[in-house]
Amino acid sequence: MNQVVVHPERCVGCMQCMLACATAHSQSGTLFGATLEQPLPKSRIHVGAGRFNEGFPNRCRHCDPAPCQAACLAGAINRVANTGTVMINPDRCINCASCAMACPYGVIRFHEDPLGPPNRQIAVKCDNCSSRVVRGLIPACVEVCKTGTLTWETVDDAMRRKNREVSRAMSSGGPGQPAVPDGVALLKTIKQAELEIGER
The binder of other proteins chosen from 3, 54, 87, 123 (CB under 8 A)? 54
Distance CA 109, CA 39 (A): 14
Strands 109-111, 122-124: parallel, antiparallel or unpaired by DSSP? antiparallel
User: What SS3 class is residue 87?
Assistant: strand
| 194: contact with other proteins by CB under 8 A | yes
Distance CA 150, CA 128 (A): 12
Residues in 62-121 at the binding interface with other proteins, rule: CB under 8 A? none
Residue number, 120 or 191, with CB nearest to other proteins: 191
Residue number, 10 or 120, with CB nearest to other proteins: 10
The binder of other proteins chosen from 13, 39, 67, 90 (CB under 8 A)? 13
Cα–Cα distances (Å) from 5 to 91, 146, 153, 198, in that order, read 29, 14, 7, 34
Which range, of 77-85, 86-94, 118-126, 177-185, touches other proteins by CB under 8 A? 177-185
Residue number, 80 or 187, with CB nearest to other proteins: 187
- Kindly list the residues in this chain that would bind other proteins in the complex (CB under 8 A): 10-15, 47-51, 53-56, 145-148, 180-184, 186-187, 190, 193-200
